């Protein structure tokens, strides 16, 4: 309350007591695989196929990462994190240019096409240009002016280049007092692999079946665990990778990250393959062949592979893992209908697909569906579509509450949104006023979802509830600094089986 010193009308603005909770993104994908260029040791966001090409080099025959990212954007995806894997024998191009030691920004033969020009050298500053040669064409991609040799200067060359350049790094060390690097000499377009320095090398191409692929994939500083450093991702894809024990570990990682794993079938599997049944079976893991365990509800398995034109082979048909197509359709469905809509059905048509590696019958589809395997089907009118919406925990024998993909992903969406949207409550006095604020904020968020059709029920009490009061916050919890919020929702189950009953009417006079 303000202190009043004069008679009159005084206006004060007071807080409403409501904290707005905004829904988080639901379809930011993450792709992990081998590429011949791009940052290593971090997850990099790309928002289009041209951006992926510029950063990671496009499609490579036999390597599924680039194709999957292309298919993701082609089918409706908008944002993707890329984790580039490389073998230990990959080499970074480097050269001493103008007396200064330069390297490419990361490993790969691409660095051999990068050139550095140094000019306008004074006793303290110089200019630098970076060019890339592609065939007969040379393009200047970066220019820096008035770079300083002094560490204390805002234009200190090492800091500016290493923080701003997408192509080169300057590995010079300041010395003397004041700290400075060596004054360079002028140099005209010297390539990073020139002057007897190391040439960049892609290293061994890591096929998904290679042992080193698994080593790099599971590394704490090289693989999917780098995604723990990004603000949020929702879908994880390792295109063409089918190692069961590693898939189990990724399922657990997705559970911790409130994300969802899209698992590909193996390229050699068919509907009668015992491997398909083993990979999608639910129950205790034997640690050998079955993708099972406690976190199968955070993953879905898709079969078979998709036949599509290969731009690297004259657009001739080739088979590709389904995860890129599927992740794109997840994103498209989320944007068009919401995360509570199953990413399957006649609207879930695979853009860019020529066909499927295996065309199955209804009976074959039925046997796989009971095991929690999501089939891709080919229909005369609708083309190639996703025809399944179950998690790997969705086998009939498992009886899981997370049988269906949209229900699991809706729960993950609500969890992530409430996690982000209730941070304001930390360290607030844990009593009735706080509980009322929580009920108002969380209730408003859930009501918004109800109005969008996310829940079953015709009225809010039938669709959801939010409980935060003295009953679930007893004195013992309050004394421990714990605030309990219980949120429930009535899920919408997909109409997986549409049954039409027809009977004859008796002829009546």
pLDDT digit string (tens) for the chain, length 509 residues = 678 889 999 888 887 777 899 999 999 999 999 999 999 999 999 999 999 999 999 999 999 999 999 999 999 999 999 999 999 999 999 999 999 999 999 999 999 999 999 999 999 999 999 999 988 888 999 999 999 999 999 999 999 999 999 999 999 999 988 899 999 999 998 999 865 557 889 999 999 999 999 999 999 899 999 999 999 999 999 999 988 889 999 999 999 999 999 999 988 777 665 445 545 443 333 333 455 678 999 999 999 999 999 999 999 999 999 999 999 999 999 999 999 999 999 999 999 999 999 999 999 999 899 989 999 999 999 999 999 999 999 988 888 899 999 999 999 999 999 999 999 999 999 999 999 999 999 999 999 999 999 999 999 999 999 999 999 999 999 999 999 999 999 999 998 888 888 888 887 66
Decide: 404 and 494 in contact? Cβ < 8 Å.
yes
Cα–Cα distance measured from residue 208 to residue 320, given in angstroms and rounded to the nearest whole number: 13
180, 238: one domain:
no
Residue 1: per-residue pLDDT: 62
334, 446: one domain:
no
Residue 463 is encoded by which pair of tokens?
């669709």
Cα–Cα distance measured from residue 335 to residue 354, given in angstroms and rounded to the nearest whole number: 25
Q: Is residue 17 part of a domain?
A: no
76, 99: one domain:
no
- Nearest of 72, 85, 406, 54 to residue 237 by alpha carbon: 72
Cα–Cα distance measured from residue 18 to residue 29, given in angstroms and rounded to the nearest whole number: 32
312, 365: one domain:
yes
CATH of the domain at 157: 2.60.40
Domain termination residue (choose one: 156, 191, 226): 191
Q: Is residue 309 part of a domain?
A: yes
221, 286: one domain:
yes
163, 260: one domain:
no
Bridge partners for 129 per DSSP: 117, 143
241, 310: one domain:
yes
Q: Which domain holds residue 482?
A: 427-509
Cα–Cα distance measured from residue 58 to residue 70, given in angstroms and rounded to the nearest whole number: 9
Cα–Cα distance measured from residue 320 to residue 328, given in angstroms and rounded to the nearest whole number: 14
395, 498: one domain:
no
SS3 sequence of 45-111: EECCHHHHHHHHCCCECCEHHHHHHHHHHHCCCCCEEEEEECCCCCEECEEEECCEEEEECCCEHHH
Q: Is residue 472 part of a domain?
A: yes
Decide: 334 and 79 in contact? Cβ < 8 Å.
no
Bridge partners for 436 per DSSP: none
Domain termination residue (choose one: 166, 191, 216): 191
119, 74: one domain:
no
Q: What are the φ/ψ torsions at residue 353 (nearest 5 degrees)?
A: -90, 135
Residue 285: per-residue pLDDT: 37
Residue 276: per-residue pLDDT: 52
376-to-59, 178, 218, 342, 386 alpha-carbon distances in Å: 24, 66, 29, 14, 5
Chain centre to alpha carbon of residue 457: 32
Bridge partners for 289 per DSSP: none
Domain termination residue (choose one: 191, 219, 244): 191
Q: At which residue do the structure tokens 């990068």 appear?
A: 114
CATH of the domain at 39: 3.40.50.11780
Q: Is residue 421 part of a domain?
A: no
Cα–Cα distance measured from residue 64 to residue 282, given in angstroms and rounded to the nearest whole number: 27
**Pairing verdict, β 260-264 and 299-303:** parallel
Q: Is residue 12 part of a domain?
A: no
Cα–Cα distance measured from residue 213 to residue 227, given in angstroms and rounded to the nearest whole number: 17
Q: Is residue 416 part of a domain?
A: no
Query: Which one-letter DSSP state was computed for residue 424?
Result: G
Q: Is residue 21 part of a domain?
A: no
Q: Is residue 469 part of a domain?
A: yes
299, 393: one domain:
yes
Residue 411: per-residue pLDDT: 96
173, 210: one domain:
no
Cα–Cα distance measured from residue 342 to residue 345, given in angstroms and rounded to the nearest whole number: 8
Residue 344: per-residue pLDDT: 97
* Region for residue 445 given its phi and psi (left: phi exceeds 0; alpha: psi -120 to 50; beta: otherwise): alpha
The sign of the dihedral angle between the CA atoms of 371, 372, 373, 375 is positive
Sheet containing 306-310: which strands, arranged edge to edge? Answer: 316-320, 306-310, 355-356
> What Rg, from alpha-carbon coordinates, does the chain have?
28
What's the number of domains the chain is made of? Answer: 3
Is the entire prediction scored with pTM above 0.85? yes
The sign of the dihedral angle between the CA atoms of 35, 39, 44, 47 is negative
Residue 266: per-residue pLDDT: 87
Q: What are the φ/ψ torsions at residue 380 (nearest 5 degrees)?
A: -55, -40
Residue 370 is encoded by which pair of tokens?
């009971």
471, 336: one domain:
no
Decide: 27 and 78 in contact? Cβ < 8 Å.
yes
């Amino acid at each position: 309350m303000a202190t009043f010193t004069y008679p009159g009308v005084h206006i004060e603005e007071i807080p409403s007591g409501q904290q707005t909770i905004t829904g988080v993104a639901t379809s930011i994908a993450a792709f992990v695989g081998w590429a011949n260029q791009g940052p290593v040791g971090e997850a990099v966001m790309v928002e289009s196929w041209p951006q992926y090409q510029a950063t990671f080099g496009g499609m490579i025959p036999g390597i599924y990462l680039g194709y999957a990212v292309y298919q993701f954007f082609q089918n409706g995806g908008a944002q993707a994190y890329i984790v580039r894997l490389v073998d230990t024998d990959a080499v970074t191009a480097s050269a001493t240019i103008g007396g200064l030691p330069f390297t490419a920004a990361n490993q790969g033969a691409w660095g051999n096409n990068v050139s550095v020009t140094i000019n306008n050298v004074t006793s303290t500053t110089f200019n630098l240009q970076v060019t890339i040669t592609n065939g007969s064409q040379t393009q200047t991609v970066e220019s820096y002016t008035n770079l300083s040799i002094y560490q204390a200067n805002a234009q200190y060359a090492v800091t500016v280049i290493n923080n701003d350049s997408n192509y080169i790094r300057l590995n010079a060390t300041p010395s003397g007092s004041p700290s400075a690097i060596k004054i360079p000499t002028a140099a005209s377009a010297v390539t990073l692999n020139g002057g007897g320095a190391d040439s960049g090398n892609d290293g061994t191409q890591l096929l998904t079946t290679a042992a080193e692929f698994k080593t790099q994939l599971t590394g704490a500083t090289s693989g999917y665990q780098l995604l723990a450093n990004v603000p949020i991702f929702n879908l994880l894809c390792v295109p063409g990778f089918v190692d069961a024990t590693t898939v189990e570990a990724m399922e657990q990682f997705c559970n911790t990250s409130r994300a969802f794993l899209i698992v590909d079938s193996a390229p050699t599997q068919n509907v009668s393959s015992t491997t398909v049944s083993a990979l999608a079976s639910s129950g205790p893991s034997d640690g050998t062949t079955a993708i099972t365990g406690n976190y199968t509800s955070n993953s879905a398995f898709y079969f078979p592979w998709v036949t599509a034109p290969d731009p690297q082979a004259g657009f001739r048909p080739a088979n590709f893992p389904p995860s890129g197509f599927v992740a794109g359709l997840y994103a498209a469905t989320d944007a068009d209908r919401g995360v509570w809509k199953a990413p399957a059905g006649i609207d879930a048509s695979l853009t860019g697909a020529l066909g499927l590696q295996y065309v199955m019958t209804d009976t074959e589809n039925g046997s796989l569906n009971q095991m929690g395997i999501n089939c891709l089907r080919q229909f005369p009118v609708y083309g190639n579509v996703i025809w399944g919406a179950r998690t790997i925990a969705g086998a009939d024998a498992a009886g899981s509450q997370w049988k269906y993909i949209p229900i699991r992903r809706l729960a993950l969406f609500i969890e992530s949104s409430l996690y982000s949207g209730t941070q304001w409550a930390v360290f607030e006095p844990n009593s009735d006023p706080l509980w009322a604020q929580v009920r108002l904020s969380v209730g408003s968020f859930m009501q918004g979802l109800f109005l969008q059709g996310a829940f079953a029920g015709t009225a809010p009490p039938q669709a959801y509830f939010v409980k935060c009061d003295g009953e679930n916050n007893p004195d013992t919890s309050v004394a421990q600094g714990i605030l309990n919020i219980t949120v429930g929702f009535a899920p919408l189950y997909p109409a997986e089986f549409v049954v039409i009953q027809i009977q004859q009417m008796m002829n009546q006079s």
